[in-house]
């Protein structure tokens, strides 16, 4: 059994997950990285070799109960315990509320919400019994703001924010810590895959344009995923823990800006017809420039 902290990082094959797995492995953690297919984990293994660290691979699909249960049985058989869980794996999902399909919404929620819950259920009993452990849930700044035209993703991330807040107070008596990591725009594979703009009715062209405006600005300013990994390590190891950690480009500005706005000011932004005026107002409230 490893004497180093045993940490499971889901979605370790790319983006934030890969950066976190490598970073924690380089800082004394025995890392089990979950991937949907070990046969497709070459980039992760190559990066581990280049960084002279070891990543233990675990094949599981967070979208499936049986797969998660089997994957964590494998981890416990090999490691004996899980000290820390980093729930990173997830997908994006765009669409204004009127146009997002039930199928897509349920798919994103199943992966982004239930996927994390499945993993929590797998590790929490032994954390409770041991009286220690950390559950790190990576949500997003869109878990704190009604990001335009990203309905499925917003729904899933707001749900994870609420469940994480609930979980934190439920498990506190058992010595288990919960940390919510809220990245802004970060270099990751989800960024490139989440550019769809359904626009089925033709009524929401400007809303989709504003969403893509944010993406375009983020493409030029996206933070390195290692920044998120550093915050995750801090959240696990600090003696002065917080519940929420906004991070990356736009992260702190969006969270603080929305908290400082009234709901009426938020809704008023939707009434702005001119895109340049909208961009200026966005900058005034959130302190970031989304012009491109």
DSSP at 95: B
Count other C-beta atoms under 10 Å from residue 31's C-beta: 27
Q: How far is residue 90's CA from residue 119's CA, in Å, rounded to a whole number?
A: 13
Q: How far is residue 107's CA from residue 83's CA, in Å, rounded to a whole number?
A: 29
3-state secondary structure of 230: helix
Which domains, from first to last, does the chain contain? Answer: 6-200+223-260 (3.40.50.720)
pLDDT grade for 192, boundaries at 50, 70 and 90:
low
Average pLDDT, the chain: 94
Examine the pLDDT at 25 and tell me if it is beyond 50: yes
The residues, ordered by sequence, that sit 6+ positions from 206 with a Cβ below 8 Å of its Cβ are 275
Six token digits for residue 269 = 């932004």
Pick 196 or 90 by higher pLDDT. 90
pLDDT grade for 218, boundaries at 50, 70 and 90:
confident
Q: How does pLDDT run across 134-150, given as a tens digit for each residue?
A: 999 999 999 999 999 99
Q: 58 forms bridges with which residues in the sheet?
A: 34
Count other C-beta atoms under 10 Å from residue 24's C-beta: 26
Q: How far is residue 12's CA from residue 217's CA, in Å, rounded to a whole number?
A: 26
Q: How does pLDDT run across 39-63, given as a tens digit for each residue?
A: 999 999 999 999 999 999 999 999 9
Q: How far is residue 124's CA from residue 180's CA, in Å, rounded to a whole number?
A: 16
Q: How far is residue 284's CA from residue 9's CA, in Å, rounded to a whole number?
A: 37
Quote the percentage of the chain above a pLDDT of 90: 89
Do 255 and 144 contact (CB within 8 A), yes or no?
Answer: yes
Do 221 and 16 contact (CB within 8 A), yes or no?
Answer: no
> Tokens 């989800």 sit at which residue?
190
3-state secondary structure of 275: helix
Q: How does pLDDT run across 269-292, given as a tens digit for each residue?
A: 999 999 999 999 999 999 999 997
* Burial class of 98 by CB neighbour count within 10 A (0 to 12, 13 to 18, 19+): exposed
Q: What pLDDT does 1 receive?
A: 43
Q: Give the residue from 67, 66, 68, 107 showing the smallest Cα distance to 87.
A: 68
Q: How does pLDDT run across 229-263, given as a tens digit for each residue?
A: 999 999 999 999 999 999 999 999 999 999 999 99
Examine the pLDDT at 172 and tell me if it is beyond 70: yes
> Tokens 């003696």 sit at which residue?
239
Active site residues: 153
Q: How far is residue 69's CA from residue 44's CA, in Å, rounded to a whole number?
A: 23
Q: How does pLDDT run across 73-92, given as a tens digit for each residue?
A: 999 999 999 999 999 999 99
Give counts: helices (H), strands (E), the chain.
Answer: 12, 7
∠ CA 222-227-229, rounded to 5°: 125
**Predicted TM-score of the model (pTM):** 0.95
Pick 166 or 194 by higher pLDDT. 166
pLDDT grade for 200, boundaries at 50, 70 and 90:
confident
């Amino acid at each position: 059994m490893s004497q180093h902290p045993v940490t499971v990082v889901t979605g370790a094959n790319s983006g934030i997950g890969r950066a976190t797995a490598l970073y924690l492995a380089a800082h004394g953690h025995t890392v089990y990285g979950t991937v949907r297919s070990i046969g497709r984990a070459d980039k992760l293994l190559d990066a581990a070799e280049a960084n002279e660290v070891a990543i233990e691979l675990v094949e599981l699909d967070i979208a499936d109960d049986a797969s998660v249960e089997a994957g964590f049985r494998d981890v416990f058989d090999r490691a004996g315990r899980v000290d820390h869980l980093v729930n990173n794996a997830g997908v994006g999902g765009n669409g204004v509320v009127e146009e997002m399909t039930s199928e897509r919404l349920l798919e994103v929620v199943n992966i982004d919400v239930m996927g994390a819950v499945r993993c929590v259920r797998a590790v929490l009993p032994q954390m409770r019994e041991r009286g220690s452990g950390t559950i790190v849930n990576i949500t997003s700044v869109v878990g704190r703001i009604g990001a335009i035209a990203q309905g499925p993703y917003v729904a899933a991330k707001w749900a994870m924010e609420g469940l994480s807040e609930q979980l934190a107070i439920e498990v506190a008596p058992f010595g288990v810590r919960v940390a919510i990591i809220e990245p802004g725009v970060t270099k990751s594979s989800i960024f490139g895959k989440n550019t769809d703009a359904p626009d089925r009715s033709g009524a929401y062209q400007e809303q989709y344009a504003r969403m893509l405006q944010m993406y375009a600005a983020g493409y030029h300013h996206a933070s390195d995923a290692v920044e998120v990994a550093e915050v995750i390590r801090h959240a696990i190891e600090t003696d002065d823990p917080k519940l929420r950690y906004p991070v990356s480009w736009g992260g702190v500005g969006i969270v603080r800006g929305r908290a400082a706005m009234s709901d009426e000011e938020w809704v008023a932004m939707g009434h702005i017809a001119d895109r340049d005026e909208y961009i200026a107002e966005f900058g005034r409230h959130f302190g970031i420039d989304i012009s491109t």
